[in-house]
Amino acid sequence: MEEYTIEKEIWKDIKEYEGIYQVSNLGRIKSLDRYVTRSDGGVQFIKGRFIKPIQSPDGYLTFKLCRNNKQRTVRIHRIVAMHFLDVPKHMNLENYEVNHKDYDRTNNCVDNLEWCTHQENIEYSSSSGRYKIRDFSGKNNPNYNNHVLSDYYKNNPEIAKEKLSRPAQQNGKAKKVELYDENMNYIKTFDWVGGCVDYLKQNGLTTATVNAVRDRIRIAIKENRKYLNHYFKDIA
């Protein structure tokens, strides 16, 4: 792992949060001493402090910016880059990422960061063996050069149109659902969960939205518990 040494820690106000938060070239974040007006009109002093970052599931350090009771989570490496790395005039930051030169996503020292495109970021990680570039071309599929089915739909646009308009259960993607009463007496089998939802609503068992009922049925199936005094089972 490379080491970076900076003689002096430099602090800058975070843009749009001037007087509230600052970021340093070493990747540290702090809030500043300040007075705020409470909802009751009173004035309160808030002492500044160093912000302890939170590590996201993908390994990056984040923290929350708060102003006017509104919060947003940001990644520290990007905040450091925006305030300490040069940004060429032609560069649209929305299209650029920040690369960690030593591959350590927690090392947000400015000397360890650089602007790059998404592709450059992937290639940099791939060169170290830390990221494997996946092939999405489909060439590894044994049917890659088999055009029988695609030609069939291409030459029969009406059939292709009908297929695209089918509900999920008619394309074989859905599981059948069995409905039971609270004593586990069988009531009915539905081709898909949507049919079960319609049945429950038509019989006045719920006034919730279709999506809400569908989601709760799926939870009831997964956790093997009652919903609307009924049990549900899915059939592969």
Q: What domains are defined for the chain? A: 11-127 (3.90.75.20), 168-235 (1.10.10)
Listed in sequence order, the residues at least 6 apart from 169 whose beta carbon sits closer than 8 Å to its beta carbon are 191, 192, 194, 195
Predicted local distance difference test score (pLDDT) of residue 133: 53
Q: What stretches in the chain show pLDDT beneath 50?
A: 1-5
> 125: which DSSP letter?
H
* Phi, psi torsion values for 231, nearest 5 degrees: -110, 155
CA geometry: angle 56, 58, 64, nearest 5 deg: 25
Q: How far is CA 86 from the centre of its chain?
A: 29
**What CA–CA distance (Å, rounded) separates 20 from 17?**
5
Predicted local distance difference test score (pLDDT) of residue 2: 42
CA geometry: angle 153, 158, 163, nearest 5 deg: 65
Question: Is the torsion defined by CA of 23, 24, 29, 31 positive or negative?
Answer: negative
Predicted local distance difference test score (pLDDT) of residue 184: 92
pTM: 0.53
Predicted local distance difference test score (pLDDT) of residue 173: 62
Predicted local distance difference test score (pLDDT) of residue 77: 96
Structure tokens at 87: 């940004």
